[in-house]
Structure 1
Amino acid sequence: MTYHFNPSGPDEDISRAISAPRSQNFFPKLRSEILKLAAAYDLSGNRHAAQTVTFAVATAVWRSAATRTQSQMSIRSPFVVLDISPLPHELAEAVAEFAHLASKSDPVLTAFELGQIYSSLLPPADRKSGGVHYTPPHIAGELILQARKQYANFTTGRVLEPSAGGGVLLVSALEELLFYSGIYEEALLIDLPKRLVGLEIDPFAAWLAQIAVDIRLLPLAIRHGLDLPRVVQVTNSLHEVFDEEFDVVLMNPPFGRAKLTAAQREQFARSLFGHANIYGLFLDLGLRAVKSEGIVTALTPTSFLGGEYFKNLRSMLRTGSTIRNISILDTRCGVFEDVQQELVLTTIQKTKSSRPVQVAKVEIDKPQEVVVDVLGEFKLPDDLSAPWLIPRTRDQVNITRGASSLPHRLSDWGYSIKTGPVVWNRFRSLISERPQTDSLPLIWAGCVRPNGIFEWPATTRKGKAWIRLQENQQHFSQKDPCVLLQRTTSREQKRRLVATPLPFSMINNHGAVVIENHVQVLEPTSKEPPVSSAALTAFLNSQTADTVFRCFSGSASVSAYELRALLLPDPKDLGRLEALVADLASSKEIEREIQRLYREE
């Protein structure tokens, strides 16, 4: 089932969530002009400059909004002390034009554009370390809609946004509260600090979010003679203690690894395994904050769907809660300009009732239109910590359904997995262009070529073909036959799984080889494993196997953990595949046979 969310469409309820005005088309040009002029006047690339320019823009937008409502109300004071200087005349004119357009635009879009100016002017290092990626309006609308489809209580409930910088999700939630308040908007305005709570660690970003809320509420405050309520607090959400206080939690948390104190590791122990990712901590926080039967919706990378470091998070998300919806964002959407990860919208309900998860593909067809293709319902694995097999597109649905019931893994095929032991820059002095006494061939990821081809020396590593191990490093050598697999691939690469057998001649001629860290090594656990290395290589290089792997791997890397979890047919059913490989059958014949092995019964 495919459906479109379009503001001009017939479904008022849907269009209300995703609406975007025509002015959206003009904002990028004006924003680009402001950023260009800011750079020309040396007002970009540092936090003070970012605050100076953005404060001027926000103030100008507020004045335009106040003028339109005939209000004398002053803009709220910043939540941080600012040293503000007047803008150059040319830049001030561009800001005034931007403000005039913003005053006539949708408040959610205005919040986004203000946030984009601020984040774009920040130093790249600050954006990265703070995970500053503000939610586009159409994605905020989809998050709201997913929560509403699970009957989230926007009528009388409390809403939390724990990473509220910029205010896009906060204003989107406010629109929901206003819609359901009906004629009781005055009561909502009075009660709003309890009903809508935004938390943000960056004081200036928190102020921006509050200003976005104020702009939306200004006409209501004037109409009812009330002060504008403060709903955004400056705090580190991860330091807060929540006890099932909210009905709805909406979030687009920061991405990236987090360094935790011992106390924080203890606090989030239930969802941690190894390295901590900030967005995983926020998901844990969300389920602590939400009431029984409440809803959490989040925009995050897909890495938690399959990575080993997220196995305790996956288990926690399904212990006392149920995953209601997983919507994969099409990789072509470009949700965030400088984020390369695949992204997902996840809706979780804190309930003991369980049912299959609805899976959808979300595509941004036009700036103002979200296209959602509902792929169906899928059962998550019985092992709560296991990777989730989730199709990304409609043509992956049948393969996913067929694979989900397969109980076999690479260990059943007779193979163990390890990662190449040599991290090259730690062995730099031992690597050479020409062989020396006792040198061994160094196998790079570049030696593993598509379609099962082995190439040594690697053309991408000229001058680094040999390594001379020290006496205490001999255990790093590989003396037995194995299958090699690239461990890291680019987002644009056609195949995630790229495998080749290590030729017997390499071991026969040199006695052993040494394998670099960007290569996975699949070793037979016996002299005659149930599946030959040739059949295993052909299988891994198939489009079908690659599809199955991509459906639970949310990362560009091919980890040993995920390889061990790869859902495989019974090795007893591989007789025809073995024969096809032995007879040097065409890749099309081999692909058809592997598709048959994954066919849903």
Structure 2
Amino acid sequence: MIEAIELKQSDYLTAKPEHLKKEFGQYFTGSAVADYMASMLTFVDIPIVRLLDAGAGAGILTIHAAMRCLAQGNKQVHAVLYEIDSGILSQLESNMQRVAETFKEADGIFTFDIRYEDFVLARPDRKEAPFHVSLINPPYFKYNTKTSPYAGATADLYAGNPNIYASFMAIVASCMEDDGQMVAIVPRSFTNGLYFKGFRHYLNRTMSLERIHIFRSRSQLFREQAVLQENIICFYRKASQNASIKVYTSTGYDDLNKDKNNTYPAAQLIDTSNGYEIIRIPESLEDAQILTDVEYWPSSFENNGYFISTGPVVEHRTKEFIIESDNIHGSIPLLRMHNVKAFKTEWTGENKKDARFMLLDGHEKHTSKNQPYVILKRFSSKDEKRRLVAGVHDPSHMPGKRIALENHLNYIGHQDGPLSQAEAYGLAVLFNSTLLDKYFRCMSGNTQVNATEIRLLKLPTRDIIQKIGMSFRSNETIIQEQIDTLLEYFLKI
């Protein structure tokens, strides 16, 4: 039954125009993933299990959840399924009838109610009886916070409008009965970052995170649909936060049943030391130890007085300032991502991507003081080994009072005045180290390096950072092992 349903679902999605899939944010769940998600459910000791499917599609998640309940001894299940794609409703109805027949053959009862409604706008948490179980693969898309009907739709639950999938998760959480179970396959982006701050606060107060599954490969999970978003599967229970959280890892869905897992204290993964409540996810025991080591560092980015800003040159808005010609009078080099290497910035004018920035009237709001900075790339490719790449900008290499930094770069300085060369190189050693790169990956699954996350970093004190920088010798042959050894020496790790 499952194989035939999945094949029909795949055919439906393949035939659907790309613009409609994007509009619905549709990425249907494969049977292997749905079965794995359902396997996380624990027995519900109640006569009738109420099951919620917030974006049903062809009903794969409901099928696996219902069959899991039946296998665990729940003979009666009632499912409520929401779906707004009219083209798949008949297939959904037929699939639910087949589940009902399977239950009947096992002396059970499966009933269902299909709602052709928008789950977020319907807000079933305000009118439905609570649910006991929900498996969800919600749509992913951002919406216009001024014109979309989704804007403010969950304002009573949390502040902000980060992404439609957060709205789904929040409303499902609100729908749950005490001790109710929610299993969601969603982008990892909600675990960190400023945009999801209000949502995380709500989720951490409402639900207990008890299990996370992460995938080492970005491309395998929804590979037929060419999705490269980093997704996780998370299990939440409607209860106060459990003392521990299990983290499972696999490459993709082919090795789901060979996954490895470790258990960590919840306090180690959910950072309650500030208002952001970032959820850190270590991929291994080694990563977990790095979390612990870094947390013991005596200072922080902000306590050390550093600032981080995003490069102010937004190229599509400053086209009249940007020229490709070399060394035009009244212009300065424009630093782009390709100009930033580990421990240095390099602009020669010989690279085809090199450009200059004209100091026309009004340039001040797009340029910065030419002083020592540590410059971080804001983006890395999905296959890049490092998430953090830090260059050092030496103003003597680019004479003049101003510097132009493109907005795919972050630059770091100190609030009390220019960084010394030693301090700049000390910070660059930290950011280019394996230790901090792994720590950052525990904090963030994004290929984007956000300023908010950098501001939250724990750091050694400034005097230690300066000592590291004074011991650093910049040359063309420096290797990762040398960087890591230098850091280990000064931090005694």
Same fold, TM exceeding 0.5?
A: yes
Which residue in 2 is equivalent to 1:537? 428
Which residue in 2 is equivalent to 1:444? 336
* Structure 2 counterpart of 1:146, one-letter code: M
Query: Out of 324, 346, 349, which is 1:455 matched to?
Result: 346
Aligned ranges for residues 115-514 of structure 1 at < 5 Å?
115-148=9-42, 151-152=43-44, 156-181=48-73, 184=75, 188=76, 192=77, 195-218=78-101, 229-241=111-123, 242-243=125-126, 245-259=130-144, 264-269=150-155, 275-331=161-217, 334-337=220-223, 338-364=226-252, 366=254, 369-378=256-265, 379=267, 380-382=270-272, 383=274, 385-406=276-297, 408-434=299-325, 435-449=327-341, 451-457=342-348, 461-462=352-353, 464-479=354-369, 480-507=371-398, 509-514=399-404
Q: Secondary structure at the match of 2:190?
A: helix
Quick one: distance in 1 between partners of 2:49 and 2:99? 20
Question: Which digits, 9 at most, give the CA deviation of each residue in 1:218-252, with x for residues without a partner?
Answer: 455589899x9543221100012214610112101
Query: Out of 467, 470, 481, which is 1:588 matched to?
Result: 481
Which residue in 1 is equivalent to 2:411? 521
* Structure 2 counterpart of 1:255, one-letter code: Y
Question: Which digits, 9 at most, give the CA deviation of each residue in 1:43-78, with x for residues without a partner?
Answer: xxxxxxxxxxxxxxxxxxxxxxxxxxxxxxxxxxxx
Structure 1 288/273 Cα, relative in aligned 2: closer, same or farther at 3 Å? closer
Quick one: distance in 1 between partners of 2:348 and 2:159? 38
Question: Which digits, 9 at most, give the CA deviation of each residue in 1:77-120, with x for residues without a partner?
Answer: xxxxxxxxxxxxxxxxxxxxxxxxxxxxxx33333222111111
* Structure 1 counterpart of 2:260, one-letter code: D
Q: CA deviation at 1:198?
A: 1.3
Structure 1 136/518 Cα, relative in aligned 2: closer, same or farther at 3 Å? same
Q: CA deviation at 1:512?
A: 1.8
Q: CA deviation at 1:570?
A: 3.8
Quick one: distance in 1 between partners of 2:440 and 2:113? 44
* Structure 2 counterpart of 1:213, one-letter code: M
Q: CA deviation at 1:433?
A: 2.0
Equivalent residues of 1:245, 1:289 under 8 A apart: yes
TM score, norm. by length of structure 2: 0.88
Q: CA deviation at 1:286?
A: 1.1
Structure 1 177/304 Cα, relative in aligned 2: closer, same or farther at 3 Å? same
Quick one: distance in 1 between partners of 2:426 and 2:142? 38
Unaligned 5+ runs, structure 1: 1-106
Which residue in 2 is equivalent to 1:29? none
Quick one: distance in 2 between partners of 1:458 and 1:340? 34
- When structure 1 is superposed on structure 2, of 311-320 and 569-578 the one drifting more is 569-578
Quick one: distance in 2 between partners of 1:599 and 1:263? 54
Equivalent residues of 2:423, 2:462 under 8 A apart: no
* Structure 2 counterpart of 1:160, one-letter code: L
Structure (1 or 2) with the greater helix fraction: 1
* Structure 1 counterpart of 2:116, one-letter code: V
Equivalent residues of 2:32, 2:253 under 8 A apart: no
Q: CA deviation at 1:460?
A: 5.9
Which residue in 2 is equivalent to 1:96? none
Quick one: distance in 1 between partners of 2:492 and 2:92? 50
* Structure 1 counterpart of 2:235, one-letter code: T
Structure (1 or 2) with the greater strand fraction: 2
Equivalent residues of 1:210, 1:230 under 8 A apart: no
TM score, norm. by length of structure 1: 0.73
Unaligned 5+ runs, structure 2: none
